[in-house]
Chain A
Amino acid sequence: MNDETHKTSRAAAIWAYLGSAQITTYGLAFLMVLTFWGTLYQVQNGLYLAKERFFDSWFFLAAGVVPFPGTQLVLAVLMLNLVVYLIRLLARKKLTFGLLVIHLGLLLMLGGGAITHLFARESQLTLAEGESGSASASYGDWEVAVWSREGDMLDVMAYNSNALKAGDVLRFEDAGLTLRVEEYYRNARAFQSTTPLTNAPLSSHNLSSLRSTKLAKEPGENIAGAVITIEQQDGAPARAILFGEDEVPTTFAHDGKDYTIALRRMRDPLPFVVTLQDFRKEMHPGTGIARHFSSRVTVSSDGVERDMVISMNKPLRDRGFTLYQASYREEPGSDAQWSTFAVMHNYGRMIPYIATGMVSFGLAWHFIVMMVRRARRSGGASA
Chain B
Amino acid sequence: MKHWSAFSWIAVLALGLSACGRDAEPTMRRYREIATSASAHAGHDHGDSGGAAPMRNAPGGMSDMAAPGAPAVTAANEPVAWTTPEGWTEQLGNPMRIATFIVGAERVECTLTAFPGAVGGIEENLQRWARQINLQVAPDTLAKFARSPNTFKTEGDFPCLTYDFTSLAPDADPSILAAILPLEDRTLFVKLTGPRTLLEEQKEAFTALCRSLRP
Contact = CB atoms under 8 A, between A and B. Distances in A.
Interface residues of B, number: 72
Given A252-B60, A267-B31, 14 more contacts: A14-B2, A14-B5, A14-B9, A235-B62, A238-B62, A244-B42, A245-B48, A248-B67, A252-B62, A264-B42, A265-B43, A329-B121, A331-B118, A336-B182
A336 to B, nearest CB: 4
B61 A189 contact: no
A232 B62 contact: yes
A248 B96 CA distance: 9
Interface of B: 2-3, 5-6, 9-10, 14-15, 17-18, 26-48, 50-53, 56, 58-69, 96, 106-109, 117-118, 120-124, 128, 131-132, 134, 146-147, 151, 159, 161, 182
A204 B65 CA distance: 8
Interface stretch (A40-48, A93-101, A152-160): A152-160
A126 B52 contact: no
A258 interface: yes
A248 B49 CA distance: 11
B60 A235 contact: yes
A248 B44 contact: no
Contacts of B108: 194
B28 A149 contact: no
A170 B15 CA distance: 29
B42 A153 contact: no
B109 A163 contact: no
Contacts of A264: 41-43
A273 B34 CA distance: 8
A238 to B, nearest CB: 4
Contacts of A132: 34, 36
Contacts of B27: 159-160
Q: Which of B2, B33, B108 gathers most chain A CB within 10 Å? A: B33
A333 B37 CA distance: 21
Nearest to B32: A153
Nearest to A334: B182
B64 A248 contact: yes
A124 B52 CA distance: 27
Contacts of A76: 17
A262 B60 CA distance: 18
9 contacts: A76-B17, A128-B117, A131-B36, A133-B33, A149-B69, A194-B109, A206-B53, A264-B43, A333-B159
A7 to B, nearest CB: 13
A250 interface: yes
Contact of B38 (A127, A238, A258): A127
Nearest to B119: A247
Nearest to A259: B68
Contacts of B106: 194
Q: Report whether over half of chain A's contact residues are helix, strand or loop; otherwise say mixed.
A: strand
B39 A164 contact: no
Q: Which of A13, A143, A147, A247 gathers most chain B CB within 10 Å? A: A247
A134 B42 contact: no
B38 A126 contact: yes
A253 interface: yes
A149 B32 CA distance: 10
Contact of B33 (A59, A156, A168, A336): A156
Contact of A332 (B17, B33, B147): B147
A223 interface: yes
Contacts of B65: 248, 251
Given A204-B51, A332-B161, A333-B182, A269 B32 contact: yes
A57 B15 CA distance: 11
A236 B182 contact: no
Contact of A153 (B33, B46, B50, B123): B33
A172 B28 contact: yes
Interface in A79-116: none
Contacts of A163: 26
Contacts of A172: 28
Contacts of B131: 223, 245
A255 B86 CA distance: 48
Which 3 pairs across A and B sit closest by C-beta, in order of nearness? A235-B60, A137-B43, A135-B33
Given A59-B18, A159-B27, A154 B96 contact: no
